[in-house]
Chains A and B, each alone.
Chain A
Amino acid sequence: MISIKNIDKKYGERSILNKLTINFPKGKVTSLIGSNGTGKSTLLGVVSRLLPKDAGHIFVLEKDIANISGKAFAKQLSFLKQSNHTHIRLKVRELVNFGRFPYTRGKRMQEEDHQKVDRALQFMDLEEIADSYIDELSGGQRQRAYLALVLAQDTDYILLDEPLNNLDMRYSVQIMKILKQFAHEFGKTVIMIVHDINIAAYYSDYIAALQNGRIAYFGKTKEIIQPHILEKIFGLEFEVIEKNDRPVCLYFN
């Protein structure tokens, strides 16, 4: 479980996160939703220690992450940011191999490491292009390669900032299914920022809505996907219909 207590984060005078408190349940897919600029990416950045926080505490398995070494933390929690690019010439498999760095620390990869990499490539449907160079891939293929890197890292906590960037519908659905499988079968805790409310509604176990740097709503998907709540979050009129016991949101008015 990740518990976040009273996190503050300011950029200059502008407050981005304001006494934010939440407990992310273990082994579930939790989606973060909210309008642009409500602090979703900043929250993931602070939890993954890429950004320093101004106040508050974050606990992973009851341990304050400020006291965990970088090496150990990289085996517990992984983070994929919104846009990824590299200026080095790298093959897909070489990129995914980097996911094993926290375990190998530059030493030769063991059998287990190769298995984890192969599994990640397979999950992301990258086997055929494993020997292609990253800079020759399409945006969606590259996004899947970076997702494979995170899967190969094989951490209990996976933080993803808009992982469906650049992906077509088929891969969006496939990746959401894989993430759900990772959560429910392998006990991984997946926390992701999703902009497509219907994807969030269909595949997440929990939804947290951010507003003004705080968690405005947090609960099981069905509790949050309600017209009156969504209208408050997004300032749009919503209609929620049920199809096969799953909520579908209509907001095109």
Chain B
Amino acid sequence: MLKKRILLLVAIAIGVVSIYMFTLLGSSPEYVFSRRATKLAAMLLISCSIGYSSVVFQTITENRILTPSIMGFESVYILFQALIIFIYNGSEVHPLESHTNFIFSVFLMIGFASILYLALFRKGKVSVYFLLLIGLILGTIFMSMTGFIELLIDPNEFSIIQKYLFASFNDINTNLLGISTIILLSTLIGGAFILHKLDVLSLGKDHAVNLGINYQRLVQISLLLITVQVAISTALVGPITFLGILIANLSYEFLPTYKHKYTILGACLIGIIFVVGGQYLVENLFNMATTISILINCVGGIYFIILLVKSRTI
């Protein structure tokens, strides 16, 4: 049953990808095809990062309605973009080159997470929940600061900030995509080695310690991998971790297993189906009039409500 369902997901994912790549190619198929290939690469990569980071994050927090976005990465990112535009006011486009912006954003997000989470958590005196609370509060503060900046700047610049509030696969820098691929793939491969320990951790912290898991270290490694993945995904396409709650939970529902190697694989495949399918609809049905964020938020929001109403065990 498990194998069949995974094969079904693989088949749907391949189907969606082929539809996206090979239909409605238009009058200059080669150009369209190469542009789509770049976007597709980014979408596959980011779906897998979100799938991995969300499932792992939910395991270490023992909670199924959280995504790494609660840790405040995205608000750091958006605040940074708003600050840059505020400081260099007057220019029509984003004042930083995309390379510089990418590198700064990634380092800011990783730095933020390292200082807060890794340093705080290492002492072992605070629980994961305390970290999340700090992340939540800081995230709110950063969002309020962004809101304040948005009030100060003029409407043109505001529209530039708006662009960074939503994820977009439409203008991905190919060079950055290369670096990101290498880093994200290495975190995913490295992350595969802790999956059997995460299986034990999903029994709960106390059982994991009893069974010989070095809890502090496992959580630290997981947080580090999640941090890198979320930072790079966000810097590459914008805030997109909201997708995590949807694909992680669909994967748990659909696959009758507790093993992370399957739930993460399922989440990645479901992520690919949603992101590529959503992008196809955005491009062809809505003619770019909406963003994939809005589309997925809409589906995700409905699913989230269903989840809350249906499940009493969260």
Residue positions of A touching B, CB distance < 8 A? 48-50, 52, 70-75, 78-81, 84-90, 94-95, 98-99, 101-102, 105-106, 135, 149, 153
Contacts and interface: CB of A to CB of B under 8 A. Distances in A.
Interface string B189-223: 00000011101101110110111111000000000
A52 B211 contact: no
Given A86-B204, A87-B62, A87-B64, A106 B209 contact: no
B313 interface: yes
A71 B313 CA distance: 32
Contact of B207 (A73, A98, A135): A98
A89 B259 CA distance: 10
Contacts of A72: 212
For the complex of A and B, list the 9 residue pairs with the smallest distance between their C-beta atoms, beginning with the closest. Answer: A106-B196, A74-B212, A88-B258, A102-B212, A101-B211, A71-B212, A70-B212, A88-B202, A70-B214
A79 B207 CA distance: 8
Contact of A79 (B204, B210, B258): B210
A148 to B, nearest CB: 13
9 contacts: A50-B210, A52-B124, A74-B212, A79-B206, A85-B204, A88-B203, A89-B252, A90-B258, A94-B258
Nearest to B253: A89
B211 A102 contact: yes
A95 B204 CA distance: 12
A101 B218 CA distance: 15
A106 B199 CA distance: 9
Nearest to B202: A88
A86 B205 CA distance: 10
Contact of A74 (B206, B211, B314): B211
Q: By DSSP majority rule, is chain B's interface helix, strand, loop, or mixed?
A: loop
Nearest to B59: A88
Nearest to A90: B258
Given A50-B209, A79-B206, A98-B207, 12 more contacts: A48-B209, A50-B210, A70-B214, A74-B212, A84-B207, A86-B203, A87-B202, A87-B314, A88-B258, A102-B211, A106-B195, A106-B197
A119 to B, nearest CB: 18
B90 interface: no
Interface size class of B (residues with CB under 8 A): 20 to 34
B147 interface: no
B256 interface: yes
Contacts of B209: 48-50, 70
Contact of B210 (A71, A78, A87, A89): A78
Nearest to B314: A87
Contacts of A99: 211
A191 to B, nearest CB: 14
Nearest to A74: B212
A132 B197 CA distance: 24
A113 B203 CA distance: 19
A88 B253 CA distance: 11
Contacts of B214: 70
A50 B211 contact: no
A131 B143 CA distance: 48
A50 B212 contact: no
Nearest to B215: A70
A73 to B, nearest CB: 7
Nearest to A45: B206
Contacts of A153: 210-211
Nearest to B62: A87
Contacts of A101: 200, 211-212
Nearest to B64: A87
A88 B256 CA distance: 10
Contacts of B204: 84-86
Contacts of A149: 207
